[in-house]
Amino acid sequence: MSETTQPPQRKIIHIDMDAFYASVEQRDNPDLRGKPIVVGGSPEGRGGVVATASYEARQFGVRSAMPSKTALQLCPGLIFVYPRFAAYKEVSRGIREIFRRHTELIEPLSLDEAYLDVTTDKLNIGSAIAIAQQIRQAIRDELNLTASAGVSVNKFVAKIASAMQKPDGLTFIAPAQVPGFMEQLPVDKFFGVGKVTAEKMHKMGLHTGAHLKALTEDELTRHFGKVGRFYYNVVRGIDNRKVEPYRETKSQGAEDTFAHDLTTLEEMNAALAKIALVVHERLQKSQLKGRTLTLKIKYHDFKQITRNKSWLAPVGDLASITLAAQQLLAATDTTHKKIRLLGITLSNFGEAAPKPRKGFNPEQLELF
Ligand code: TTP
Ligand code: MG
């Protein structure tokens, strides 16, 4: 690749709602505003952990994932609120709609958090800082909530930046600042998860990005495995992970092209039973059930037809899938035409929940 084909420097925004569940509760119930509240857990302090705390409660040291009992000890007047997930999902849809005004390159990490790539933006605003401000303003005006934003050249820096001036803040780390920013970063912050890794680093005398930068790529991979290479790059401000939009699974299926064309109904039914097994397994993995089954038939002359069956309630069990496919097949002309391919697809899933991808786990990353 010649130097002139270098892609432009990316503009990445990370947006994260402030005290998300708690803020939604305070928005919807004026009695809770300005007060220390938590969502989740139990007021008797008998059990359970809190999901999140309002910023008023955080002043007492109350935090996410803290046992209710501890939270109550820190803040005796603490108000416990039962979660309303439907309301949080609704807000989540709302913020995504706002993001979509500027880009389709949106990667949600959870209900309240997403990366946006605005290297090019729909409204030609050009400035990632201006876009982030407009998004924050729209969230305030239209949803009556606040969000914090981090703006920089890659995902890693943008995510850390968004937490730096919470709540209701925007932090921009300019390209020229990125190397210095990474060098001063404490390793624990740096690696988000990995308490164990952070401890290991501390024991090795590694406390900041600068310490990591002093190690060679070989040394880093020797001590930390494959992810060492990620560390090597990211500490130099290099994080080429793309913003990958979450795409909802619209259909799930499998098909088989046969070595010899099938001529008898018996063979065809046996082939469908095998394909149904694969489809069933895939549906189970993605935890989906479909209301429509489509059978695809390709004949030896390459002509292709499809037949559908729909149910009122979603279907995902092997027997129903196999039977429906075989019934659809039986209703076609199977006596005069040889078949070279059969396929089964399930679709019409309704609303599928996005896979939880909360947090940053470098162990699971595709490394450059
Ligand atoms: P976060 O964005 O981590 O936290 P937050 O939005 O409450 O606060 P802030 O970003 O201002 O620091 O998580 C978003 C929501 O996810 C949070 O409101 C509740 C839920 N959550 C849990 O249920 N358990 C947890 O351990 C965490 C961290 C979050
Ligand atoms: Mg948040």
Residue pLDDT, tens place only, 36-79: 999 999 888 667 899 999 999 999 999 999 999 999 999 999 99
| pLDDT score for 1 | 46
Q: What is the largest CA-CA distance in the chain?
A: 80
Rounded to an integer, the average pLDDT of 331-345 is 95
Domains and CATH numbers, the chain: 20-85 (3.40.1170.60), 177-234 (1.10.150.20), 251-367 (3.30.1490.100)
Which residues, at least 6 apart from 274, have a Cβ–Cβ distance to it below 8 Å? 256
One-letter amino acid at 314 equals P
Rounded to an integer, the average pLDDT of 246-275 is 92
Candidate list 97, 113, 281, 351, residue with the active-site label: 113
Q: How far is the CA of 24 from the centre of ligand 1 (A)?
A: 12
| pLDDT score for 4 | 57
Residues β-bridged to residue 335: none
Rounded to an integer, the average pLDDT of 2-27 is 88
pLDDT at 355 over 50: no
pLDDT at 192 over 60: no
pLDDT at 367 over 80: no
Q: Are 69 and 45 in contact (CB under 8 A)?
A: yes
Residue with tokens 């409660």: 57
Percent of the chain, pLDDT > 90?
Answer: 80
For residue 83, give the ligand nearest its CA. Answer: 1
Q: Which of 83, 34, 86, 40 is nearest to 56 (CA)?
A: 34
pLDDT at 117 over 90: yes
pLDDT at 193 over 60: no
Range with the poorest average pLDDT among 193-197, 265-269, 291-295, 300-304:
193-197
Residue 195: which pLDDT band, with cuts at 50, 70 and 90? confident
Round the average pLDDT of the chain to a whole number and report it: 91
pLDDT at 2 over 60: no
Give CA–CA dist 103/11, Å, rounded.
12
pLDDT tens per residue, range 125-147: 999 999 999 999 999 999 999 99
pLDDT tens per residue, range 297-317: 999 999 999 999 999 999 999
Q: Is 21 in the pocket of ligand 1 (CB under 6 A)?
A: yes
Is 56 catalytic? The answer is no
Residue with tokens 């489509």: 294
Q: Is 19 in the pocket of ligand 1 (CB under 6 A)?
A: yes
Q: How far is the CA of 308 from the centre of ligand 1 (A)?
A: 43
Q: How far is the CA of 203 from the centre of ligand 1 (A)?
A: 30
Q: Are 68 and 43 in contact (CB under 8 A)?
A: yes
Separation of first and last alpha carbons in the chain: 17
For residue 66, give the ligand nearest its CA. Answer: 1
Q: Is 16 in the pocket of ligand 1 (CB under 6 A)?
A: yes
| pLDDT score for 366 | 33
Rounded to an integer, the average pLDDT of 164-191 is 93
